[in-house]
């Protein structure tokens, strides 16, 4: 109605402008206002007549112009109507509202493809386009059959599971731990000026099992690692080692155990022989496949330095503060190292005849190179570690025979090592944070006391 009124109003204005509307007695046919009186009522001039003929021709063409205008308006109205209908259908095709309203909406059903349920009762609508309750509710729910079809396949799997995997152990379903643990934090601050309380260490590591055993709960460790520490009268150093290393080893997601091999008596200290004892005794408790041999006074400064085994024997303490965080020489293999069971047996273990300080590390290096193995190391940054400062222990003076023995490693390695190991097992104590194994390894002058254990046979 507003459009028609506007059209009539514009038409009246147009006729008013062109002189189509005249008031009788006020305007003549030339569109000039008549006035009473003399000069204004005289006859028109020839020029006025010529102008009058042109105006008349314009007025005669008025109806054609009006028809064109109406035609244009009609086209515009049709375009507006077409756009309005298109917008309405587009809005209704959008996914607006809850799923129930979408599945029951007739426009949506028509735009989203073929209706999954041809039953007409599921598409009934009452006055005003409102959906009518389906008289058969079970069939109304079948409109979602295309989405339910994938759910029918898993429903058949439970019938096959008991046949395929009967009585499967839940622990076997655990996935392998990643090669690099996501729990690592990188560089660590290591200090030795604060006393360590072992009760606090135990409280801080609640997942430790008796004997200092641990395995990850969320995944299956890639290796089973026995950490072996040669020891005698270093209780304070051991406290720091346990305080720092237990959290590190757990973040590295290792299945590990800590074995402190305590040399009984006051004879000269024999580090390499204690390491051999640790290898034998650890295998009595668990099927370890990797062995980390660590001095009690060395603490890693980066937990990315993983205490595990590699394809080649691993030297882990490559940058000690004692040596200015540098490798003292390329053949150095002391401090902390790791070997797999196969690597250890290939070199016949460690020498048993190095009494006192020094020499055994170089002998082990010679054994490895003789068997064609090379030493792998972490980077100098990752391999940093700190040593607890201390005076050299009594009965651990430098070995005067070490250089002569190192020179003959190739001749002695096949008869001196794991196959010639003998010791006496004194006591095994399974403590909360570690397993203490006290042994008598004898003396340089003679063998061990009666009741010894031979490593090669054990």
| Distance in angstroms (rounded) separating the CA atoms of residues 142 and 148 | 9
Catalytic residue among 55, 251, 321, 357: 357
For 162-254, strand residue ranges (E) read 213-214, 224-231
Q: One of 117, 255, 281, 295 is an active-site residue; which one?
A: 295
d(CA 417, CA 110): 86
Q: What angle do CA 254, 380, 177 make, to 5 degrees?
A: 20
Catalytic pick from 117, 281, 302, 361?
361
Question: Catalytic site residue 297?
Answer: yes
User: CA quadruple 102, 106, 112, 116: dihedral positive or negative?
Assistant: positive
Contact 422, 455 (CB under 8 A): yes
From the list 117, 255, 281, 297, the catalytic residue is 297
Phi and psi, residue 225, nearest 5°: -115, 130
How many residues in the chain? 458
| 390 included as an active-site residue | yes
Q: How far apart are CA 258 and CA 213, in angstroms?
A: 7
42 is known as an active-site residue = no
Q: Which of 175, 189, 389, 392 is catalytic?
A: 392
Is residue 392 part of the annotated active site? The answer reads: yes
Find the catalytic residue in 117, 255, 281, 360. 360
- Establish how many alpha carbons lie within 13 A of residue 154's alpha carbon, considering only the half-sphere containing its beta carbon: 3
Among residues 326, 390, 410, 427, the one annotated as catalytic is 390
DSSP character string of 177-230: PPSS-TT---B-----SS---HHHHHHH-TTPBTTTEE--SSSB-S-EEEEEEE
Catalytic-labelled residue, pool 11, 134, 381, 387: 387
Which segments of 102-223 are extended strands (E)? Answer: 213-214
Angle at 199 between CA 193 and CA 200, to 5 degrees: 55
Q: What is the largest CA-CA distance in the chain?
A: 164
Q: Which residues are known catalytic residues? A: 295, 297, 357, 360-361, 387, 390, 392
């Amino acid at each position: 109605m507003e459009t028609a009124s506007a059209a009539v109003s514009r038409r009246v204005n147009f006729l008013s402008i062109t002189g189509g509307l005249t008031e009788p007695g006020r305007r003549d046919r030339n569109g000039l206002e008549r006035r009473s009186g003399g000069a204004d009522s005289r006859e028109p001039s020839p020029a006025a007549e010529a102008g009058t003929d042109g105006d008349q021709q314009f007025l005669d063409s008025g109806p054609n112009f009006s028809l064109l205008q109406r035609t244009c308006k009609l086209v515009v109205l049709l375009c507006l109507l077409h756009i309005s209908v298109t917008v309405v259908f587009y809005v209704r095709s959008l996914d607006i509202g809850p799923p129930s309203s979408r599945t029951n909406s007739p426009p949506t059903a028509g735009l989203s493809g073929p209706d999954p349920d041809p039953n007409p009762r599921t598409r009934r609508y009452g006055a005003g386009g409102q959906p009518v309750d389906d008289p058969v509710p079970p069939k109304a729910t079948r409109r979602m059959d295309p989405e339910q079809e994938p759910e029918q396949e898993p429903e058949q799997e439970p019938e096959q599971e008991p046949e395929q995997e009967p009585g499967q152990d839940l622990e076997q379903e655990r996935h392998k731990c990643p090669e690099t643990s996501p729990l690592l934090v990188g560089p660590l601050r290591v200090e030795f000026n604060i006393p360590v309380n072992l009760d606090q260490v135990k409280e801080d590591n609640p997942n430790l099992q008796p004997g200092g055993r641990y395995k990850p709960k969320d995944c299956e460790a890639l290796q089973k690692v026995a950490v072996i520490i040669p020891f005698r009268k270093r209780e304070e150093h051991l406290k720091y080692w346990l305080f720092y290393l237990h959290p590190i080893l757990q973040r590295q997601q290792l299945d590990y155990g800590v074995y402190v091999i305590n040399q009984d008596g006051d004879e000269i200290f024999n580090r390499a022989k204690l390491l051999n004892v640790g290898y034998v005794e650890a295998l009595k408790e668990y099927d370890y496949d990797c062995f980390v041999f660590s001095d009690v006074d060395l603490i890693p400064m980066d937990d990315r330095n993983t205490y595990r085994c590699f394809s080649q024997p691993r030297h882990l303490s490559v940058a000690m503060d004692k040596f200015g965080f540098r490798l003292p020489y390329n053949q150095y293999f002391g401090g902390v190292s790791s070997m797999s069971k196969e690597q250890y047996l290939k070199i016949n273990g460690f020498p048993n005849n190095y009494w006192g300080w020094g020499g055994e590390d170089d002998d082990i290096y010679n054994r490895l190179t003789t068997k064609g193995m090379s030493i792998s190391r972490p980077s100098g940054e990752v391999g940093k570690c700190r040593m607890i400062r201390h005076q050299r222990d009594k009965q651990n003076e430098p070995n005067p025979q070490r250089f002569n023995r190192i020179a003959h490693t190739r001749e002695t390695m096949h008869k001196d090592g794991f196959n010639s190991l003998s010791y006496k097992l004194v006591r095994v104590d399974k403590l909360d944070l570690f397993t203490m194994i006290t042994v008598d390894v004898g003396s340089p002058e003679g063998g061990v006391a009666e009741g010894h254990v031979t490593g090669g046979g054990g």
